[in-house]
Amino acid sequence: MQGKIEGLRNHFHDSWKEIAALSIIRTLRPTPLKYAESAWSKLYLSEEIDLRKSSGK
């Protein structure tokens, strides 16, 4: 999985975390996009990958 994350970082500099999070959510459970935030917040991985945007960008 690390190779896939590196590929996302290289091609999608600003949104790779969101793409990875959605991919993980949809792989584990086919969740509608409108519930993605709720599903993500329940995963332990959400504590490891911070999806909040920095205010400087």
Q: Which pLDDT tens digit goes with each residue over 12-54?
A: 988 888 888 888 889 988 888 898 888 888 888 787 777 765 4
Q: Which two tokens stand for residue 12?
A: 């999608």
Q: Which two tokens stand for residue 16?
A: 């790779």
Model pTM? Answer: 0.70
Q: Which two tokens stand for residue 10?
A: 């290289």
What DSSP designation does 49 have?
A: S
Q: Which two tokens stand for residue 43?
A: 């995963």
Helices (H), the chain: 2-11, 16-28, 36-41, 45-48
pLDDT recorded at residue 11: 92
In the predicted structure, residue 5 carries a pLDDT above the cut 50: yes
Please tell me which residue, 49 or 10, carries the higher pLDDT value. Answer: 10
pLDDT recorded at residue 56: 41
Domains of the chain, residue spans: 2-48
Q: Are 12 and 5 within 8 A, CB to CB? A: no
pLDDT recorded at residue 53: 55
